[in-house]
Amino acid sequence: MVSRKDHVKDLCTAPEEVLSMESSADDRLQFRHTIGDVFVEETYDIPVTRSALNLNLSAKLPELLDELTRACAENLDPHIADSVCDWTPLNPNTVIPRIICRASNRVFIGGPLFAMKTTSSS
């Protein structure tokens, strides 16, 4: 990503509402109108998850890195191996969500249960 200094400054000084994934999703998907007020107003799960994850991040980091390595190898290596030139086209909209999903599941579900689920579903 290429950016000018003033763009970086804008990002650094932007308020939480502008950079918030929650606000962006609500704005784009109009949750208040499609799902209802309760879904939009009761967002206690986000800070609870964030604080629990922050407290355990140092313990979960090795698992996260291991899963990211495996997920990247499984999702990126086939594209690279099939390439006959130096440049390999890749659709990030299909690859990146798979990698993020695997890493998230490994952290939230845990290694043994996650491994059992992935091997039994394939």
Q: pLDDT of 9-47, one tens digit each?
A: 888 888 877 777 777 777 888 888 887 777 777 777 777
Residues 6 or more apart whose CB falls under 8 angstroms from that of 80 comprise 88
User: Residue 69's pLDDT is what?
Assistant: 92
Q: pLDDT of 3-16, one tens digit each?
A: 678 888 888 888 87
Tokens of 100: 């993020």
For all residues of the chain together, what is the average pLDDT? 78
Tokens of 99: 């990698």
Using a pLDDT cut of 70, give the percent of the chain over it.
Answer: 80
**Distances in Å between the alpha carbon of 14 and those of 9, 10, 17, 26, 27?**
8, 6, 8, 18, 17
Return the residue matching tokens 């939009």. Answer: 40
Answer whether 75's CB lies under 8 Å from 99's CB: yes
**Residue 38's Cα: distance from chain center in Å?**
24
Answer whether 67's CB lies under 8 Å from 106's CB: yes
Tokens of 66: 């291991």
**pTM summary value:** 0.53
DSSP string spanning 66-121? HHHHHHHHHHHHHHHHT-SSS-----HHHHHHHHHHHHHHHHHH-HHHHHHHHHHH
Across the range 71-81, mean pLDDT stands at 79
Phi/psi at 11 (5° precision): -65, -40
User: Residue 34's pLDDT is what?
Assistant: 81
**Which comes out higher in pLDDT, residue 68 or 19?**
68
In the chain, where are the structural domains located? Answer: 1-43, 57-122
